[in-house]
A = this chain, B = another copy of it.
């Protein structure tokens, strides 16, 4: 910057003014400075700028699992929305581990992100408290924590799930296996509760960890126990369940019905196509980013509750109904 200033025959203050679009500099000096910048290939140091202004124009996003297409879509939407407001997004991948999540949150805070988007790995409000204590704007995404005091953006699947439950019962299923998420996550509990509340003793619940392997194992147990329908509460566990069904040579929906929470681009391509509860991922991501930006700008955004939709495709024997 000093070089640029010298080159243009001005002070660094003037260079800074030109850089920041201040009204002050004359068109002439602006011209000269711009020329010098061009010639020297000067690029401002964002670190120094941030140190001075205490604003990084950066949002932190800590997600549970980058390999989960659900979160990948969300990350993409967050990024799009943030970019359109001149913000950058730094993504942290927690891998469904509470420790790694905490590590990432702290790293991002240390780097002074202007705000944080968090998909909490567990219910524990401790980490959220820590962030809030630091005074950093925070929005929870997809999942919430006990007694959350910050805005939350999520999708409500209860209606779709009860509709699905009724449908399965109507189709004659009396032993329905639920592959649920961890009981210490809000989505893990809520989805399972919404679904089973209609079912009573017809439902049998096995908890997984939102990953493929746990889906296979849960499916195996439930099938062994005589389930005639399986509902996986997240797409990765759904993938695992599907694998187990195939491995056993069972036919969908004749031998066993299957439905999955979260849609995937390839679900319609299976035979039969998979019935799902689809979350509005893009809208969730965008809404979360908007809420966070509002918070950063001193507003108090409300919680956002979008609704997930049941998409019937045939894997629950819809054709026969």
Residue of B nearest to A267 (CB): B266
- Oligomeric state, in number of copies? 2
Is there a chain B Cβ closer than 8 Å to A320's Cβ?
no
* Chain A interface bracket (under 10, 10 to 19, 20 to 34, 35 or more): 35 or more
Question: When each residue 49-92 of chain A gets 1 if its CB lies under 8 Å from chain B and 0 otherwise, what string results?
Answer: 01100001000000000110100110110010000000010110
Pairwise interchain contact A79-B93, C-beta atoms closer than 8 A: yes
Question: When each residue 236-267 of chain A gets 1 if its CB lies under 8 Å from chain B and 0 otherwise, what string results?
Answer: 00010011001000000000000000001110
Max chain B C-beta neighbours (<10 A), residue from A111, A134, A212, A243: A111
In the bound complex, what is the Cα–Cα distance between A72 and B107 (angstroms)? 21
Max chain B C-beta neighbours (<10 A), residue from A91, A107, A212, A243: A91
Is there a chain B Cβ closer than 8 Å to A10's Cβ?
no
Is there a chain B Cβ closer than 8 Å to A21's Cβ?
no
A contact set with B: CB distance below 8 Å: 41, 43-48, 50-51, 56, 66-67, 69, 72-73, 75-76, 79, 88, 90-91, 93, 106-107, 109-112, 133-134, 212, 239, 242-243, 246, 264-266, 268-271
**Could you show 21 A-B contacts with beta carbons less than 8 Å apart?**
A43-B109, A43-B134, A44-B110, A45-B112, A46-B111, A47-B47, A47-B111, A47-B112, A66-B72, A66-B75, A66-B79, A67-B72, A67-B73, A69-B69, A79-B93, A90-B90, A212-B265, A239-B265, A239-B266, A243-B269, A246-B269
